[in-house]
Structure 1
Amino acid sequence: MIVRIAQYSLRKRLVFGVGSTIAILLAQQSLTMFAHGRLTFLLISASLPFITVLFGASSGALLLLTGILFGALWMDPIGQLVVPGHADQIVMLAYTVVGTFLVVAGQQLAKMAQRAGRAEAATRDAAARVLQVERDSRHRFDVALNTAGVPFFIVTPVLRDGHIAELRWDYLNEAAARLFNPAAGVIVGSSTLYVSPAGWDADLLLSRLAPLAERDGRDAFDVRVDKAEGDQWFHVVAASLSGSVVAWFGDVTARVRAEWALEEADRRKDEFLATLAHELRNPLAPIRQVAEILAQPRLTDEGRKWCVTVLRRQSAAMALLLDDLLDVSRITRGALTLRKEVVSLREVVDEAVEIARPILGAKAHELVVKPPPRPLHVEADRLRLAQVLGNLLTNAAKYTPPGGHIELATTAEDAEIVLSVADNGIGIEPDKLSAIFRMFSQVNRDHHREGGLGIGLALSKSLVELHGGRLTASSAGKDRGSCFSIHLPAEIRVVASPAPARDAPAVVSALVRRRILVVDDNVDAADALTALLELERHEVRTVYSGEEAIDILRHYDPEVVLLDLGLPGMSGLDVARRIRTMPATREVTMIAITGWGQPDDRARTAEAGFDFHFTKPVDVAQLNEAIDSAGTAA
């Protein structure tokens, strides 16, 4: 009580002291009216330490002196300060000694009260600071967890019969709370068996988190959540914390789907490589067999013609395969550009039919072509459009049993122009229609024997989209045929200009001979090309390196040089530059024969001085035209 009073403010202590003094004086006055004056010393001496604690030693000493004077006045003789009685003198002396002791004791007590008060105040301040630090820490904890955006929660086990029967939500940050169904109401304090994130398996949470509440440890696992918009995946990382369990969990749906996509891409890549090997072996097998047949001494002219036909057809098939692969590469790199011109759709259809004619004839299909009622002309890349239509016809032929029916129809509407290819073949199951335009996709894997790398439709779709159109597919189901349609915007339709008059092409005599130099490090390719040119009655020299080519030009004057680019040592481009600097060969016709056919490759050959650029395998008719364009024959 004294310690608490000592901590009062000065004003409060003054009021309390004045009141106490008045009460003491009134009580003392009452005692003096009914008793001998010396009895009043008891009351005054009792208040001395109290007054000293309240107001200090000086106040206590003043009260002691007041008491002495008061006692002297009320002792015999009353009203005088003289105390003649021996007994009264003893009382006065005892009062003075005891009072002095009480004042000193009150002063010490005041000091102790002040120290105790300071200690208590310091304790209260420390407790307040600890409480504030705890509040600040909790606030920072909440802010950090809520702004992190990563769901976080704390669960505490609920025991029944010594075993964990359920878990209770003790804390959730805002990101975790958003995953709960709003109808769940109060979450914190609820059981995980009855309240859990929407779509989560409560039993899974209990089985994976309960062991961490029983012993220290960590765990990480994935949770699959079924939702209307599709599966969603969360990765949970949990750890023990003083009998509770803390856990972070993040949405890893994008990662899981990416992993699935990579696995699917890897699988499709393996299938593509297997199919590519199959596709390459298909033409290589007859080519090799024909080579053996041509080596037979009893081969008839009719057999030789058949061999030539097979070689041309199979080499053309390989060339188309490589062209498709290169076109896919160009499209994915954005390097493919269209060469648009005014073209008749009838010409496009005719070229597409020519592309697919070998397989159509081999499988004895009936092809019905339905042209539009009136001629249609569009501004498009004739070669690419014919390539797309040819791919659709080839696919229809491949996946239609022998003797099937294929129909190619062209219609012109106000909004678009449609070229459709319909067949009565194996058809496409409805759930696989969306996959047929993906790269390297083959929805009928049981028909690998029919050929195809799974790039034809993907390439065709990209080429049609470059024209501003779209490619669609439909099917009534398995074994009920399918229909592929090219939809071109009506804006590309144009009115054809009158064709300019052309002179009749000059007929080049088969006896015109050229002096030709063939340069190729592939001996078989160089010798085969030499044999072909010699059959055309040309004079041919053959070398197998760039250095040999430069050396032979010192004593041989060709009109045409057929030059491979990928030569060891001195490259074909270096040889071409040297030829253009030599006075004797400055005007010679140079033709690049190479496997490189990209636009930048053609730009490099043009810069090096080549007149023509042909990719392997070379079209013989085009090569002959290039050779015929050389200077005057010798």
Structure 2
Amino acid sequence: MPPFGTLAVPQSEDRAVLLAYTVVGTLLLVTGQQLAKVARRAGRAEAATRDAADHLLQVERDARHRFDVALNSAGVPFFIVTPVVRDGQVTELRWDYLNEAAAQLFNEGSGVVIGSSTSYVRPAGWDADILLERLAPLAAQRHGRDAFDVRVQGGNGEQWFHVVAASLDGSVVAWFGDVTARVRAEQALAEADRRKDEFLATLAHELRNPLAPIRQVAEILEQPGLTDGRRKWCTTLLRRQSAAMALLLDDLLDVSRITRGALSLRKEAVALKEAIDDAVETARPMLDGKGHELVVKLPARPVHLEADRLRLSQVIANLLTNAAKYTQPGGHIELTATADEAEIVLSVGDNGIGIEPDKLSAIFSMFSQVNPDHHRQGGLGIGLALSKSLIELHGGRLTASSAGKDKGSCFSIHLPANCRVVPPEMPTRDALAIPSSIKTRRILVVDDNVDAADAMTALLELEGHEVRTVYSGEEAVEILSRYSPEVILLDLGLPGMSGLDVARHIRATPSMKDVTLVAITGWGQPQDRARTADAGFDFHFTKPVDVGQLSQAIEGAVASA
């Protein structure tokens, strides 16, 4: 670029000054340019250093994030603690890190955990002394390692944790997991092993009990001059003791079959009274031998169940013999049966030694004994466990209750109401087999077929019963307001209000709950019997009704009243 003009400097001194400024200015300009280059290079270096620092910081953050994600996703509690040293000794531990699984074990009211002392803040139920005792020594080691179990009594009851800890640069890292299930399983195995040993000892004892009198009776029978009375006594004893041995072996076989899933029920329509009679007959020697008073209370109406008669009787007999066994001689035992729309309950109560509250939950376990002195009382400790399994196979449950030691106990069989059935028709009986003397009852006959109703009425009156007859469902409901029959013969195919509707009305009336209802119908298929059972009928007979069967049904109602 050309100069803008010229400047005249006449004085030589001024020219010297100007020259000096020009030289200095040129030097300053050159120096400034160099400094600018240096500044630019320094700026670039500083930026590179800052970027490197930011990069290192981001790498550290990413590593910490991956560390947290890895430890949290594992789902296993993990923590890091650092010892606090005072006067050369570790006095406490400080929480330095917790993953999410470990943090969840702390109470919400614990506040800030990180940085806190294990003496004041720790998982619920944990012992600070145990943590200090087991973890502090590891902090002083370079490659220390330890593993141990910790028992915790928390809000969920007793728990067990397995801790694996290791040294880490003056701190301690540790994983721990809930091993409660494992510890309980080990305890259960040890308890089962102990009970097995007790069971084998008891089995040997119980089998020797009947063998001793059997051997003695064998020697008695060899004696000359044995009287008929003594021989009869020997025979009775042999039968009783051999039956006792058979029961022991049957229980063992049944337990084995249930355990293997090989036991199946043979269900049929069973009269509850007959099953109870079988059980009482089985338990009678034990009851009489100890002079117990047995009271049996049955529902006024006959009850029939779809059940395995043998197994149901076996359970009831077991409850009766247990009651006899654990009740002092001359005790009182009561067997009560009730049936309603919800369930059927059979209870065996006694005034015997009772059961302590802490033992109630264990009495249905295999090989358990109600009384620790089981050798004196007898029994293998499998009867209640077997009974419980048999009732559960029937869809029911077995429960126990007691007010405490020496206050008696009660065992109850609960069966669902849907197992109640109408009994099948019995084989036709010869008319001559009909009892000539039947206790008279008040009977209501309901049938829209006038001739059939009147003929039935005449037959029942010949047997001495008091009979009323109506020809519709509406009339049946109306007459019940002024007449209280004990047995109702009810046709199902009534015009208007059907026999099923009448039955439901009767069962819904509290004052009529004990009436015996007999269905008279031309329908006899299984689904028809199911309908009458649901409506509350006690018997289901198809037309023409067999007189012998009807008389037996009325006789059964009388016997259960």
The one-letter amino acid paired with 1:214 is: A
Q: Which whole-Å deviations, capped at 9, do the CAs of 1:309-338 have from their partners, x for residues lacking one? A: 333322222222121122222223332222
Report the CA distance between 1:422 and its aligned residue: 1.9
- Assess if the C-alpha contact under 8 Å between 1:368 and 1:407 holds in 2: yes
Q: 1:309/1:52 Cα in 2 relative to 1: closer, same or farther (>3 Å)?
A: same
Aligned counterparts, 1:504-583, within 5 A: none
Match of 1:441 in 2: 368
Report the CA distance between 1:32 and its aligned residue: 8.0
Pick aligned residue for 2:393 from 450, 466, 488: 466
Aligned counterparts, 1:382-401, within 5 A: 382-401=309-328
- Assess if the C-alpha contact under 8 Å between 1:219 and 1:237 holds in 2: yes
Pick aligned residue for 2:187 from 260, 269, 279: 260
Match of 1:357 in 2: 284
Report the CA distance between 1:117 and its aligned residue: 8.9
The one-letter amino acid paired with 1:439 is: M
Report the CA distance between 1:158 and its aligned residue: 2.4
Report the CA distance between 1:195 and its aligned residue: 2.0
SS at match of 1:332: helix
More deviation in 242-251 or 152-161?
152-161
Match of 2:60 in 1: 134
Pick aligned residue for 1:233 from 146, 153, 160: 160
Answer yes or no: is 1:271 the counterpart of 2:198: yes
Match of 1:18 in 2: none
- Assess if the C-alpha contact under 8 Å between 1:169 and 1:190 holds in 2: yes
Rounded to whole Å, the distance in 2 between the matches of 1:447 and 1:164 is: 54
SS at match of 2:361: helix
Match of 1:104 in 2: none
Match of 2:115 in 1: 189
SS at match of 1:232: strand
Report the CA distance between 1:246 and its aligned residue: 1.2
Match of 2:172 in 1: 245
Rounded to whole Å, the distance in 2 between the matches of 1:502 and 1:284 is: 46
Answer yes or no: is 1:487 the counterpart of 2:414: yes
Match of 2:357 in 1: 430
Answer yes or no: is 1:173 the counterpart of 2:87: no
Rounded to whole Å, the distance in 1 between the matches of 2:19 and 2:242 is: 144
SS at match of 1:226: strand
Match of 1:289 in 2: 216
Report the CA distance between 1:307 and its aligned residue: 3.6
Report the CA distance between 1:141 and its aligned residue: 0.8
Match of 1:334 in 2: 261
Report the CA distance between 1:296 and its aligned residue: 4.6
The one-letter amino acid paired with 1:151 is: P
Match of 1:35 in 2: 17
Q: 1:33/1:214 Cα in 2 relative to 1: closer, same or farther (>3 Å)?
A: farther
Task: Work out the percentage of aligned pairs sharing the same amino acid.
Answer: 76
Match of 2:83 in 1: 157
Report the CA distance between 1:360 and its aligned residue: 1.9
The one-letter amino acid paired with 2:274 is: E
Answer yes or no: is 1:379 the counterpart of 2:306: yes
SS at match of 1:396: helix
Match of 1:456 in 2: 383
Match of 1:201 in 2: 127
Q: 1:291/1:51 Cα in 2 relative to 1: closer, same or farther (>3 Å)?
A: same
The one-letter amino acid paired with 1:493 is: R
Rounded to whole Å, the distance in 1 between the matches of 2:423 and 2:61 is: 83
SS at match of 1:231: strand
Report the CA distance between 1:244 and its aligned residue: 1.3
Match of 1:606 in 2: none
Rounded to whole Å, the distance in 1 between the matches of 2:279 and 2:248 is: 16
Q: 1:450/1:183 Cα in 2 relative to 1: closer, same or farther (>3 Å)?
A: closer
- Assess if the C-alpha contact under 8 Å between 1:409 and 1:419 holds in 2: yes
Q: 1:323/1:502 Cα in 2 relative to 1: closer, same or farther (>3 Å)?
A: farther
SS at match of 1:280: helix
Count of aligned positions: 418
Q: Which whole-Å deviations, capped at 9, do the CAs of 1:106-159 have from their partners, x for residues lacking one? A: xxx99xx97x99987776665554433322221111110011111111122223
Match of 1:529 in 2: none
Pick aligned residue for 1:318 from 245, 250, 257: 245
Report the CA distance between 1:394 and its aligned residue: 0.9
Report the CA distance between 1:38 and its aligned residue: 6.2
SS at match of 1:386: helix
Gaps in structure 1 of 5+ consecutive residues? 1-30, 56-108, 505-634
Match of 1:214 in 2: 140
Q: 1:211/1:292 Cα in 2 relative to 1: closer, same or farther (>3 Å)?
A: same
Q: 1:33/1:158 Cα in 2 relative to 1: closer, same or farther (>3 Å)?
A: farther
Q: Which whole-Å deviations, capped at 9, do the CAs of 1:49-100 have from their partners, x for residues lacking one? A: 7646878xxxxxxxxxxxxxxxxxxxxxxxxxxxxxxxxxxxxxxxxxxxxx
Q: 1:294/1:502 Cα in 2 relative to 1: closer, same or farther (>3 Å)?
A: farther
More deviation in 392-401 or 36-45?
36-45
Report the CA distance between 1:175 and its aligned residue: 1.0
Q: 1:386/1:117 Cα in 2 relative to 1: closer, same or farther (>3 Å)?
A: same
Rounded to whole Å, the distance in 2 between the matches of 1:196 and 1:497 is: 69
Answer yes or no: is 1:415 the counterpart of 2:342: yes
Report the CA distance between 1:496 and its aligned residue: 2.9
Instruction: Say which structure is richer in helix.
Output: 1
Rounded to whole Å, the distance in 1 between the matches of 2:35 and 2:227 is: 141
Aligned counterparts, 1:2-41, within 5 A: 35=17, 37=19, 40-41=22-23
Rounded to whole Å, the distance in 2 between the matches of 1:269 and 1:355 is: 28
Rounded to whole Å, the distance in 1 between the matches of 2:58 and 2:178 is: 36
Rounded to whole Å, the distance in 1 between the matches of 2:94 and 2:394 is: 62
Q: TM-score when scaled to structure 1? A: 0.60
Answer yes or no: is 1:405 the counterpart of 2:335: no
Q: Which whole-Å deviations, capped at 9, do the CAs of 1:232-271 have from their partners, x for residues lacking one? A: 2222222221111111111222222222222222222222
- Assess if the C-alpha contact under 8 Å between 1:32 and 1:40 holds in 2: no
More deviation in 145-154 or 276-285?
276-285
Rounded to whole Å, the distance in 2 between the matches of 1:404 and 1:197 is: 54
SS at match of 2:164: strand
Report the CA distance between 1:451 and its aligned residue: 1.4
The one-letter amino acid paired with 1:159 is: V
Match of 1:573 in 2: none
Q: 1:375/1:53 Cα in 2 relative to 1: closer, same or farther (>3 Å)?
A: closer
Report the CA distance between 1:386 and its aligned residue: 0.7
Computing the radius of gyration over CA atoms, which structure comes out larger, 1 or 2?
Answer: 1
Rounded to whole Å, the distance in 2 between the matches of 1:451 and 1:48 is: 119
Rounded to whole Å, the distance in 2 between the matches of 1:157 and 1:475 is: 54
Q: Which whole-Å deviations, capped at 9, do the CAs of 1:277-312 have from their partners, x for residues lacking one? A: 112222222333334444555655554444433333
- Assess if the C-alpha contact under 8 Å between 1:151 and 1:249 holds in 2: yes
SS at match of 2:291: coil
Q: Which whole-Å deviations, capped at 9, do the CAs of 1:173-194 have from their partners, x for residues lacking one? A: 1111111122222221222222
- Assess if the C-alpha contact under 8 Å between 1:421 and 1:485 holds in 2: yes
The one-letter amino acid paired with 2:316 is: L
Aligned counterparts, 1:54-65, within 5 A: none
Answer yes or no: is 1:44 the counterpart of 2:26: yes
The one-letter amino acid paired with 1:146 is: N
Rounded to whole Å, the distance in 1 between the matches of 2:198 and 2:278 is: 31
Rounded to whole Å, the distance in 2 between the matches of 1:181 and 1:265 is: 36
Rounded to whole Å, the distance in 1 between the matches of 2:340 and 2:171 is: 71
SS at match of 1:432: helix
Rounded to whole Å, the distance in 2 between the matches of 1:36 and 1:471 is: 124
Report the CA distance between 1:367 and its aligned residue: 2.2
Answer yes or no: is 1:367 the counterpart of 2:367: no
SS at match of 2:336: strand
Q: TM-score when scaled to structure 2? A: 0.67
Cα root mean square deviation, aligned = 3.0
SS at match of 2:333: strand
- Assess if the C-alpha contact under 8 Å between 1:156 and 1:169 holds in 2: yes
